[in-house]
Chains A and B, each alone.
Chain A
Amino acid sequence: MTRTCIMMMTVAGLATQVQAETSQAQVVETYADIAEAGYRDSLTTAEALRDAIAALTEAPSESTLTAARAAWRAARDPYMQTEVFRFGNPIVDDWEGRVNAWPLDEGLIDSVADGYFGAGENEFAQLNVIATPTFTLSGQEVDATEITPALLSDVLQEADGSEANVATGYHAIEFLLWGQDLISDAPEAGQRPWTDYAQGDACTGGNCDRRAAYLTVAADLLVDDLSFMVDQWADDGAARAAVTTDPQAGIAAMLTGIGNLSYGEMAGQRVKLGLILHDPEEEHDCFSDNTPSSHYHDVLGMQNVWLGSYTGPDGDVTTGPALRDVVAEADPELAETLTAQLADTVAAANALRDAQAEGMHYDMLLQVGNPEGEALITPLIDALVDQSRSIERVSRALNVNGVVVEGDDTLEASGEVFK
C-alpha cells in the first residue's frame, strides 16, 4: 500500500515535470512562430517599399514620393516588433546592423546642410558618395562610378571602422526619402523635395540619377536581408532550431531579448540618452519623425513575446502557449506584475504617439528647456526599467540563470589570469 502510494506520487511527479517541459517547448515554439511571422511581414512590407521606390524613381513626383514615404512607415511597424528577437539570438545580432544601424552620419551618403558636423572622428562624415564617384578609403582608391550592392554593404557600411558610417538599411532609405530634418522646434520632418529624383534640368541637389540608383540598391538589399532572416525562422531555419532544440535555452533567449531591449538598449541608449543629450539627431527615426511609432512598436514586440500573440498588419494573428503561462505556474503574482508593467510601457509609448498627433514631435521634446519632453519621455524610461527588474525576477522564478551571461563572451573566458 505504502509502496503503491510512493510509486503513484513518483509517477505524478514525473507527469508534472513532463507537462512543464512540454509547456516550455510549446512556448519557444510560439516564440519562433511569432519571429517568423514578424520577419515575414517585415519582408512583405519591405517589398511594397521597394515597389513604391521603383515607382518614385521611374516617375518622380510629389505623389510617388509621398507614397514611398508611406510605404517606409508601413514597413517600420512590423520590423520594430521584431527588435525583441535581438540580444538573445546570435543569428539576429550578427545581422541586425545591416538593416537597422543607427545613429548614422548621413553625410556619408548624400549632401548635407552647412554646419553639419557628423561624428567627431569620422573622416567620412561628409563623403557624399552620391556626388563622389571615386574616393580613397584606407589608402585604397574606390571606384564608385556604379552604385552596387557590394559598394554599399562591403565598402561603405562601417567604412574606416566607424559605426556611424551606415550605408544600408531602414535609416539610409529614410534619409533618402525625407532628407535631413533641420527644424526641431516645429512639427516638421525632413523636407527633401521630390525633384531630388527628377531627371534632366528639373533635378535638384545634383546627381539625381545616382541618388535614385543608391535608393534602389538600398531597397533591394533590405528585401534580400529580410528574406534571409525569414528563412532563419522557417521550419528548418537555424534561428528556430537554436531556440527549440533546448527549450530552456530558448526561454533564456526570450528573457535576454526582452531584458536587454528594455534596459540597456531602450531605457539606456535610445530613449534616455536622447532626452538628456537634448540633441534632435538623437531621435531614432530622426529624418521622418517616426520615432513615437518606432518606440511604440518596439515595446509592443516585447508584449507580443510575453503574451504569445502577434497581430500582423493584415490582421492575421499568430498565437500559442505564452511565456506568461509558464511564469504564472511558477509565480502567479510575478506574472501579473509583469503583464501590468508591459501594458504600462505600451501606454507610455502610445502617449508619445498621441503627442505627435497633436503636433508635439519627438525632436521638439528633446529641445533644451522643453519640460514636456521630460514629462512625456521619463515615464517610458521608468516603465522600461521597472519591467526589466521583473524580467530578472522571472529568470530566477524559472531558474533560468544567465539571462545576461548568454552572449557575454568575456564571462566565458577560460583560464586564469596568471599561471
Chain B
Amino acid sequence: MRLFTLALLTLPLPALADDAVDRVVSDFAVPHVTAFAETTAALAQAAEVDCTPGNAGLLAAWNAAMDAWLGVQDLRFGPLEQGSRRQAIAYWPDVDGHRPRALSRILTGQDPVLDKPETFPGQPISARGLYAVEAMLFDPQFNDYGAGDPGCVLVQAMTADLAGSAAAVQTAWQDDFVTVMRTAGNKRNARFLDASEARQVVFTALLTSMQFDIDERLGLPLGTFDRPRPKRAEGRLSGRSQRNLELSLVAHAELARALVPDAADAPRTHADFERVIGLAQTLDDPDFSGVDDPAERFKLETLQTALIALRADVHAELGKTLDVSMGLNSLDGD
C-alpha cells in the first residue's frame, strides 16, 4: 500500500514514544509473524518431501502452521491487510462453497495452473492458503490422491504460495511497518497522523477479532436452536474447531496484555480472559459437532455469552486506558 512506503526515507524517522504500541510491535507482532513465516516454510518443505495426505510429517507441519496463524490473525492492519494477503492465507468462512468448486476446477484440469505451478498465486483465494490445504489433507472429497496425482502438485503449489505470503508479511513488518507504527504522529508519517491512530488500529483489530470468534467461530456452527449448523464449524474437517478457538482466545489475551499490561488498569479484562480461555479448554468438543446436543450446545452458548461480555469489558477498559474509540472494521458489511 502506497501510504506506508514513505520510502522510509533514507533518513531515519525519529521514533515517538508510545509504550503500548512498542509492546505490541516487539512482544506480539514481530515474534508472531516470524513464527508464522517459519512454520509455513517448514510446511512447504514437508510437502516437497512427501505430499500425500497420510504423511504424518505433513499433517504435523500443517497443524503447526495453523497454530501459528492464530497468533497472527489479530494483526488486522499493515502488511497482512495489503492486497489480498489475509484472504489468500486464511479464506474462511466459505458458506457459499467457493472452495470445493475452485479445487475441483483445478483438479479436473479446467484450469491449466498445475502445468505452471509458479502461477498459482493468481488463483482464487478460495483455492489458496491454510484452509485449502486443510481441504486437500482432510476432506474425503479431495484427500485420496497419491504421490503422482494432480492433488500432489496442487498441495505443493499451495504450501509454497502460503510460505511466500507469510514471508512477505514478515519482511514487510520488519523492513517497514515496525517503523511506521513506532513513528506514528511524526509529520512525515502519512499512515498514522498521531500516536493515538496507531493505538486505535490495534484496539480495533482486537475487538474485531473477538467479534469474529463470537459471530463466526461460534455463531456459524451454533446457527439457531432449531437449526444448528455443525458443518459450518471452522476446522471441522481436521477436528480443530475447539483448538482454533482456544488459541485464538490465547492470542487475544496476549494482545490485550501487550496493550495494557497492568491488571489494575483493566481488571475485568485480565481476569475474565483467563476464565473464558478456561471455559474453551474444558469443552471436550473438538469439532463443535456438539451444537446438535443440548448439553454440549449449552456449553458453547455459555462460552459465546461470556465472550460477548468480555468484549464489552475490553472495549470499555482498554478504550479508556488507551484513550481511543473503536474504528471501522472489516466485518461491518454484510
Contacts and interface: CB of A to CB of B under 8 A. Distances in A.
B187 interface: no
B298 to A, nearest CB: 16
A16 B177 CA distance: 42
A325 interface: no
A326 interface: no
Given A277-B124, A413-B312, A417-B313, A263 B328 contact: yes
B124 A278 contact: yes
Contacts of B188: none
B329 A264 contact: yes
Nearest to A125: B97
A87 interface: yes
B95 A121 contact: yes
A377 to B, nearest CB: 11
A259 B207 CA distance: 17
Contacts of B125: 276-277
B185 to A, nearest CB: 13
A408 B326 CA distance: 11
A20 interface: no
Nearest to A374: B83
A412 B306 contact: no
Contacts of A368: 111, 122-124
Contact of A417 (B94, B101, B200, B306): B306
Contact of B309 (A161, A265, A393, A413): A413
A401 to B, nearest CB: 4
Given A260-B333, A277-B125, A278-B124, A410 B312 contact: yes
A268 B310 contact: no
B252 interface: no
B232 interface: yes
B223 interface: yes
Nearest to B111: A368
Contacts of B331: 264
Contacts of B98: 277, 279
A368 B96 CA distance: 19
Contact of B97 (A120, A260, A391, A414): A120
Contacts of B272: 416-418
A378 B272 CA distance: 41
Contact of A164 (B96, B126, B232): B96
Contacts, number: 132
Interface in B76-124: 83-84, 87-88, 94-98, 100-101, 111, 119, 122-124
A278 B315 CA distance: 36
A295 interface: no
Contacts of B309: 413, 415-417
Interface string A61-93: 000000000000000000000000001000000
B84 A272 contact: yes
**A: contact size bracket:** 35 or more
A121 B123 contact: no
Interface in A276-333: 276-279
Contact of B126 (A277, A393, A402, A405): A277
Interface in A133-181: 160-161, 164
Contacts of B123: 278, 368
Contacts of B96: 103, 119-120, 164
A417 B122 contact: no
Given A263-B330, A405-B325, A418 B193 contact: no
Given A164-B96, A417-B268, A268 B330 contact: yes
Contacts of A266: 333
Interface in B288-330: 306, 308-313, 315, 325-330
A403 interface: yes
Nearest to B326: A404
A188 B204 CA distance: 42
A119 B95 contact: yes
Contacts of B253: none
Nearest to A269: B333
Contacts of A87: 332
A386 B4 CA distance: 12
A404 B328 contact: yes
A160 B224 CA distance: 11
Contacts of B207: 411
A393 to B, nearest CB: 7
A98 interface: no
Contact of B308 (A269, A402, A413): A413
Given A265-B332, A276-B124, A392-B328, 11 more contacts: A87-B332, A119-B95, A160-B227, A264-B332, A269-B333, A276-B88, A279-B98, A388-B328, A403-B325, A410-B308, A416-B268
Interface of A: 87, 103, 117-121, 160-161, 164, 259-260, 262-266, 268-270, 272-273, 275-279, 368-369, 378, 382, 386, 388, 391-393, 395, 401-405, 408, 410-418
Task: Please name the 8 residue pairs, one residue from A and one from B, whose CB atoms are nearest each other, closest first.
Answer: A120-B97, A265-B333, A264-B333, A264-B332, A269-B333, A276-B84, A417-B309, A417-B272
28 contacts: A121-B231, A263-B330, A263-B333, A264-B328, A264-B329, A264-B330, A266-B333, A268-B330, A268-B333, A270-B333, A276-B88, A277-B125, A277-B126, A278-B123, A369-B119, A382-B2, A388-B328, A404-B328, A404-B329, A404-B332, A408-B326, A408-B332, A411-B311, A412-B312, A416-B309, A417-B310, A417-B313, A418-B306
